[in-house]
Amino acid sequence: MSHVVRPILIILASVAIYTKYYLSFQNGFIDLLSTMGSQGSLAGLQDGLRSHYTGLDPLDKFLKACNVFFWPIFHGTSPALSLYAIAFAGSMIPMWLILLMHTCVKSSIVEIVMINALTGLLVQGIGPGVMMCVLLAMRSTSMEEFAVTSIPAVSILGPNDLPLSLVVCYILPLALSSLPAPASISVPSKQLFIASWQGWPLYIALAVGIAHSLRYGYRRSRPQQLFRHAYAFALACSIISHVGLLLISFLSIYPKSPFLSLHSADLHPQSLLVPRLPWQEVKITSLESGVLRFLHWDYSISSTGALLWCYDVYWEDRMRGKGWIAFFSLSSQLATMSLAFGPCSVALALYWTALSKNLMKNEHVRKR
């Protein structure tokens, strides 16, 4: 299937460029972002946009643009946008973990840190809709190298190091950025938190490197045990955020629902869960609607690409083991599970099924 999946991933990346960037120029979203940036305004505020962060002008301009874009998400001016962003943030954890685990086979700890810092920053800066598809298209779906007798460099880490690094370097900055301003923190401080969160892939990569250095000389963990904790944590985050999105969205349509309010139309499943098709594009009149449309396509394409690639990994592994797969039956089951628990949750489960089997082979070979 790899010869089919790789071109599809490239096509998906092209669709992401078209829907996220080209159409954003056409519908006025980019112009709206530029106008707010030049005026120094934020969604819901007439002014207060911070201009200085690091002292490096190109980086400060990028972080300033990030604050204009992410402010309505963290400020909560649109409950539907914030709710959808939470689901998207939860799905990023399994997507990042898939990239990390696939790098850890034969790489040294320095290579693991550098590769994941670079690829993570590209995903954060350009967007997972484009970069996840490109990065996965560049990676082999074969699991043969996971059954080698060498011990991965990251096996020196403790089983809770990866989940802890995700909490400290990804979830905690998200939580700090979500604090209400000016009720709990000042507007400039909130913008600083939002800007700081942009570097979470670098923080996680450095945390993994530091944890490896602190544990140098310790007894190595079983790779399967190391990744199992991270897998369970990432799966829980993804499922909880996706199920929460579904529950609130579908409950909003019932007359006696606690979520029935002025925002019920925005929370309706058709508005919140389904991206507007390209030929249904309308002029963007508010920053919140433009950001939600942007996230719709980013999440839909990146999660589809991750699911497709992990399906190929699972397929290749079963075929290599001379197994048999009922294609249509499995595909329908995966589609149903993706709707219920999230496509990234299903993608991670498929990847872990293939990975854990090959890590067990690795362990059995080394014990001989």
Which is more confident, 355 or 92? 92
The per-residue pLDDT for range 89-142, each reduced to its tens digit, is: 999 999 999 988 888 766 777 888 888 899 999 999 999 999 999 999 988 777
What are the beta bridge partners of residue 45?
42
d(CA 138, CA 9): 10
Which whole number is the average pLDDT over 351-366? Answer: 73
For the cut 80, the answer to whether the pLDDT of residue 353 exceeds it is yes
For the cut 60, the answer to whether the pLDDT of residue 219 exceeds it is no
The reported pLDDT for the residue numbered 145 is 62
For the cut 50, the answer to whether the pLDDT of residue 149 exceeds it is no
- Three-class secondary structure assignment of 81-126: HHHHHHHHHHHHHHHHHHHHHHHCCCCCHHHHHHHHHHHHHHHHHH
* Token pair 């499995």 in the structure block, residue: 330
For the cut 50, the answer to whether the pLDDT of residue 303 exceeds it is yes
Which is more confident, 55 or 133? 133
Greatest mean pLDDT range, 56-70, 106-120, 219-233 = 56-70
- What confidence tier does 321 reach under pLDDT thresholds 50, 70, 90? low
- Between the alpha carbon of residue 51 and those of residues 33, 124, 188, 194, 293, the distances in Å are 15, 20, 10, 13, 26
C-beta of residue 367 within 8 angstroms of C-beta of residue 330: no
Q: How far is CA 182 from the centre of its chain?
A: 29
Burial group, residue 362, by CB count within 10 angstroms (0-12, 13-18, 19+): buried
Q: Residue 103's domain spans which residues?
A: 2-367
CB burial string 44-54: b at 16+ within 10 A, e below: ebeebbbeebe
d(CA 139, CA 122): 16
The reported pLDDT for the residue numbered 324 is 63
- Contacts of residue 112, Cβ cutoff 8 Å, sequence gap at least 6: 100, 103, 104, 153, 154, 205, 208, 209
- Between the alpha carbon of residue 23 and those of residues 81, 129, 288, 290, the distances in Å are 19, 14, 16, 11
The reported pLDDT for the residue numbered 2 is 67
The per-residue pLDDT for range 264-289, each reduced to its tens digit, is: 677 888 888 888 887 777 888 889 99
The reported pLDDT for the residue numbered 69 is 95
Which whole number is the average pLDDT over 236-260? Answer: 84
Count the residues in the chain: 368
The per-residue pLDDT for range 181-212, each reduced to its tens digit, is: 888 899 999 999 999 999 999 999 999 888 87
Q: Quick one: what percent of the chain has pLDDT higher than 90?
A: 51
Single-letter amino acid code for the residue at 34: S
- What confidence tier does 257 reach under pLDDT thresholds 50, 70, 90? low
The reported pLDDT for the residue numbered 137 is 92
The reported pLDDT for the residue numbered 150 is 53
The reported pLDDT for the residue numbered 315 is 87
- What confidence tier does 159 reach under pLDDT thresholds 50, 70, 90? confident
C-beta of residue 150 within 8 angstroms of C-beta of residue 326: no
- What confidence tier does 258 reach under pLDDT thresholds 50, 70, 90? low
The reported pLDDT for the residue numbered 356 is 83
pTM, two decimal places: 0.91
Name the domain count of the chain: 1
